[in-house]
Amino acid sequence: MSSFTPSLDRLIEQFAKLPSVGKKSAQRLAFHILSMTDAEANAFTETINKARSSIKRCEICCNLTDTKVCTICSSQSRDKSVICVVEDPRDVIAIERTHEYNGLYHVLHGAISPMNDINPEDICIKELLTRLNDDVKEVIMATNPTVEGEATSMYISKLIKHLGVRVSRLAYGVPVGADLEYADEFTLIRAIEGRKDL
């Protein structure tokens, strides 16, 4: 039984639901919230609410954005002939950090996983297909090097290869079984340079 009052228990429980937050950290965060001034606490909750209501998916690439079309899709300096397909918005940030890639992105928001009942129609594949016009010369599959990521990559490549678009895959450098977002810049640079046709 907890020695805290029920409201505090509930607050701790909410923090404990966050990724990488254990029971001790959850308690620390809850007590920190209680020690805030009203103004600080209100600013915090308002920021959460505003982020949740204003952040949506870019109409073109499905990346998260505050505007209809994200800054990368609306940029005049990006190479519109290449689309790099990733599973997660955090992968875009990871690749942008390398400063080695100047094309566009497409965020799938997941990977095909029959085990978890995630089918092709559950991720943003049809949105990618509608983007493949004459301007697009290459699609780089940068899904995670996991079973699901590989399966997703193969599935998409089969769909678009006959359209005459070059399809490549991040090759070496990214450790197998790891998440792309955790790879360092140099690993990602090698992976982008070493991509190969599917």
Sites of contact with Zn ion (CB under 5 A): 58, 60-61, 63, 70, 73
User: Shortest approach of Zn ion to residue 57 CB, angstroms?
Assistant: 8
C-beta closer to Zn ion: residue 65 or 157: 65
Residue closer to Zn ion by CB (options 58, 125) is: 58
Interacting residues of 135 by C-beta distance below 8 A, sequence separation 6+: 80, 81
Nearer to Zn ion, 41 or 93 (CB): 93
Q: Which is nearer to Zn ion, 70 or 82 (CB)?
A: 70
DSSP state of 75: -
Shortest Cβ 72–Zn ion spacing (Å)? 5
Shortest approach of Zn ion to residue 158 CB, angstroms? 25
DSSP result, 13-71: HHHHTSTT--HHHHHHHHHHHHHS-HHHHHHHHHHHHHHHHH-EE-TTT--EESSSS-H
Cβ at position 23, least distance to Zn ion in Å:
39
